[in-house]
Amino acid sequence: MFKCRWFLTILFLGILNLWGASSVTFAQADYSLRISQSVSANPGEGDVCLYLVLAKLDSVAGFDVFVKFNPELLTATGVEPICRFQLFNYDFSLPGEVRIIARRHDSDSTYLSPLPPGSDTLGYISVRITSQDLLVDIKAPVEFSDDPKTSYPDNRLIAPDSSFIEEPDLELNDGSVFIRHPLYGDVNDDGYPNTIADAIFFINFLAGRQGLTPRQKANSDVTRDGIQASMSDFINLVAIITEN
């Protein structure tokens, strides 16, 4: 009986050790690359910035990124570095795709030391939001992806010895843009659409005496034709007010 208990104890401890060894595989990655999450924007808004943030336990000399999103909702308008890179190339010529290749040094330029351990904002992708009526609030994913036209992982870091750091050592965290549905007719953005105050606010804008915030501009598309703050929108706003 004693030998049986002793055997079961050893077996139990062995299972715990095996579980502990296997659990290391699921530990948090040493490197994490993420895109801005839950960025809020309005239809028609431009230059909405999605930041690339890298957290690392060791130095990094560069990165490759391939990002995809719905081109019917978002259009890339630019890519800019924030950290210094000797080589920084990007391509957003295809709708819904952005590729970035960055190196701290290349063969034809002055050497820059690798980025040290810690957290760095590498740069950002700017996008324009569609001005079409989406009917409801929509969350537009912005995701790390692999290009089927390439035979290698498209999202990776470059170590100081020029080796690649990929998944699972590199954890990739997707981002998104939350597109707020406009309150059409609420041109002054006070929560009450189609009022005399909205018409006066609109007149002041058309006369050049008043600017519009991205939210007010989205709300001004009374005709919902995707052309914001137009004379047609103003005429329709006045018609709605007089009918009420």
Tell me the percentage of the chain whose pLDDT exceeds 90: 83
- Report CA dihedral (236, 183, 68, 114) to the nearest 10 degrees: 120
CA distance 152 to 161: 19
Cβ neighbors of 96 (< 8 A, separation 6 or more) are 68, 69, 70, 71, 74
Q: What share of the chain is helix, strand, coil (3-state, %, to 5)?
A: 25, 35, 45
Sorted by where each starts, the structural domains of the chain and their CATH numbers stand as: 31-179 (2.60.40.680), 196-243 (no CATH)
Instruction: Give the H or E element holding residue 40.
Output: strand 39-41
> pLDDT grade, residue 5 (50/70/90)?
very low
Cβ neighbors of 175 (< 8 A, separation 6 or more) are 34, 35, 36, 37, 39, 50, 141, 142, 143
Q: What is the mean pLDDT of the chain?
A: 89
Q: Pick the closest to residue 67 from 102, 97, 32, 106 (CA basis).
A: 97
| Cβ–Cβ under 8 Å, residues 92 and 79 | yes
At residue 111, the pLDDT reads: 76
pLDDT digits (tens, 9 = 90+) for 96-122: 999 999 999 866 666 789 999 999 999
Q: Pick the closest to residue 220 from 207, 202, 204, 208 (CA basis).
A: 202
pLDDT digits (tens, 9 = 90+) for 53-85: 999 999 999 999 999 999 999 999 999 999 999
- 31 to 121, 156, 172: CA distances (angstroms): 14, 10, 9
Cβ neighbors of 56 (< 8 A, separation 6 or more) are 30, 31, 32, 115, 117, 118, 119, 120, 157
